[in-house]
Amino acid sequence: MSKSMKRVELALAASGLSADILEMTAETRTAQQAAEAAGCALDQIAKSIIFKGENSGHVVLFITAGGNRVSAKRASAVAGQALGKADADLIRAETGFAIGGVAPIGHLTPVESYFDPRLLEFERVYAAAGTPRHIFSIDPAALLKMTGAQTAEFTE
């Protein structure tokens, strides 16, 4: 098991949840790929979109429904700072995950996070589990609680 996936597993266990981490036969780097692999609706994929806070210099995580696009303008307003592109090195340094497998939990350092309320409309959502081929299923309210994210409107 990869170190990244192990952190996700430990974060789930620490929260008292017993969520199965699923290995997919196909890659799940995109929300569309993950939805096809999981056999669920696109919006049931909790995708992790990461920006760099221009004031803080740290990553800011937006957990959004798979079919939604994060509005840079709305996200900046929610975060209270201008947001820019986070490069792969910064993402890995602060979250511990590579692009294409960034999980919403199990980060190396605490990450400022925001949560798309669209995800709360489902009984279950699926999120990356630390690799491009692994996902986990979870109640979205439990995911919101685990992440410590703030629910906010930041999509187009």
Q: What domains sit in the chain, N to C, each tagged with a CATH number?
A: 3-151 (3.90.960.10)
- What average pLDDT does this structure show over 37-45? 95
Tens-place pLDDT, residues 132-141: 889 999 999 9
Q: pTM of this prediction? A: 0.95
Distance, in Å, from the CA atom of 127 to the CA atom of 88, rounded to the nearest integer, reads: 19
CA dihedral 24, 30, 33, 37 (to 10 degrees): 30
Tens-place pLDDT, residues 1-38: 789 999 999 999 998 876 778 898 888 888 999 999 99
- What average pLDDT does this structure show over 38-65? 97
Per-residue b or e along 26-48, where b marks 16 or more CB atoms closer than 10 Å to that residue's CB: eebbebebbbebbebeebbbbbb
The region of weakest confidence among 15-24, 32-41, 70-79, 119-128 is 15-24
